[in-house]
Amino acid sequence: MSFHIGAGYLYCEGIRVKDLQNTVQDSPFYLYSAAQLRANVAAYADALTGLSARISYAVKANGNLTLLKILRDLDCAATLVSGNELRLALLAGFAPADMVFNGNGKQRDELALAVQYGVTVNVDSEFDLEHIIAATRDAGKPVEVLLRVNPDIQPDVHPYVATGMRESKFGIRAERLPWFLDRLKREPRLRLVGLHCHLGSTIKDVQVFHDAAVLMGDLTANVRQQGFDLRYLNLGGGLGIDYERAGTSPTPADLLDALRGRLPDDLTLIIEPGRSIVGNAGALICRVIGVKDNGDKHFIVTDGSMAALIRPSLYDAYHHIGFIEPVNGMPYVFDVVGPVCESADFLGKARVLPTPHEGAGLVVYDAGAYGHAMSSSYNLQLRPAEYLVDGNRVTQIRRAETFDDVALAQSPLSVIMPPIESADGQP
């Protein structure tokens, strides 16, 4: 593993993390392993051997520009959910032909950008289709599209990350497909090239991917019978990782084994992993502020918080927690919490840990996905810096947010607005 313990100290590849913590000014900070990132992509590439397939990394999981460039160099494509992610992917060097633009609420300026660059766009609804049509008319350019199908498959995950069920806001019900196909036949600038579905996230039962592949294969055959030349089948992402350190999470090979024999031979498979690419490649490194007892309740208070890593508070998600250095105090059952003024501000609950000294380094593992990407400046807890380890080399790949950054965005020079006219034309 790229993160490992040696003589009581946490290492990230060849770097002792305590030495890094003592060297840098920032705390907390995110730390990533380039070796783990490459190994995760290689696991997908090996699993896809013999298939016509594309690994399209879900940029929303972690959009750090340096990490994106590494993934681009590993021949990943990019899955986007906003116009700004599209701009970032271009900056990272991804080719527009290797991008897919998803989302249930794509705005008109975002669609104009996608059409301008020739990015494949996923159709999510009736109004979304009409907005895409308008964007192609305005640009005078064609665009390739996928139809996102809502397969109504329950993935047995937290409801906030289940996206393929009937009540989800995402996708098109299968019985509505005829309407969309009829509409597309009348729009020569829109070229339907495939179907798409996405079941959710943190999925550990690969049988649901098998079920989705069977359904989507049947739908592909039906759509082809209506004269559409489909080239792609996009089954989304969502493979879970071993947050609990139980050793039972499925691998990319398990995922692909569930799909083999269920995919049309003449289609290119697109998969959209995010968490399973970058999740275990990152960790949140914190310092202990102090230890507190309230009766028989014990707390470790750190400078890391829900502002830096919201997954535990938002999803009641588990992250393994430990120390980056030897800690030999009396063990207790602790809640690991931060300084934010919310009772929901915790990184972990009911963890058996030795009592740490003040200033001890603490690590929240497997925080590379939806960690920094979902961070905030709530309570003016400023967004953390990010560092990348590659062998024995450390690079700062994002500086920490500063108070000046926050203040400047709110300064009068930054928020000057033109006069607003009332409905009667008077200023």
Residue 427 scores a pLDDT above 70 = no
Rounded-to-integer distance, Cα 278 and Cα 397, Å: 15
- Residue in 12, 76, 286, 341 annotated catalytic: 341
pLDDT of residue 170 exceeding 80:
no
pLDDT at 158 over 90: no
Which segment of 40-44, 236-240, 351-355 scores lowest on mean pLDDT?
236-240
Neighbours of 393 (CB within 10 A): 11
The answer to whether the CB of 384 falls within 8 A of the CB of 375 is yes
Name which residue leads in pLDDT, 259 or 53: 53
> Tell me: the pLDDT tens digits for 197-208?
888 767 888 888
Q: Regarding predicted confidence, which is higher, 164 or 149?
A: 149
- What pLDDT score does 259 carry? 87
d(CA 83, CA 122): 13
* Burial of 128 (C-beta count, 10 Å sphere; 0-12/13-18/19+): buried
pLDDT digits (tens, 9 = 90+) for 7-52: 999 999 999 999 999 999 899 999 999 999 999 999 999 999 989 9
d(CA 178, CA 127): 16
Arithmetic mean of pLDDT over the chain = 92
Lowest mean pLDDT among 123-127, 139-143, 170-174: 170-174
Checking if the pLDDT of 235 tops 70, the result is yes
In this predicted structure, what is the pLDDT of residue 335? 98
CA distance 66 to 220: 37
Mean pLDDT, residues 313-337: 97
For residues 36 and 315, the answer to whether their CB atoms sit within 8 Å is: no
Q: Are 309 and 319 in contact, with CB atoms under 8 Å apart? A: yes
Q: Is the pLDDT of residue 95 over 60?
A: yes
Prediction pTM value: 0.94
Q: How confident is the model at residue 160 (pLDDT cuts 50, 70, 90)?
A: very low
Spell out the residues 6+ positions from residue 3 whose beta carbon is closer than 8 angstroms to its own: 10, 11, 12, 33, 36, 280, 283, 363, 365
Neighbours of 293 (CB within 10 A): 10
Identify the pLDDT of residue 216. 87
- Nearest CA-CA partner of 354 in 373, 380, 381, 326: 326
Q: Which of 318, 319, 320, 284 is nearest to 302 (CA)?
A: 284
Please say if 341 is a catalytic residue: yes
Residue listed under structure tokens 């313990």:
5
Instruction: Decide if pLDDT at 289 tops 90.
Output: yes
CA 168 from centroid of its chain's CA atoms: 19
Cβ-count burial 213-230 (b if 16+ within 10 Å, e if not): bebbbebbeebeeeebeb
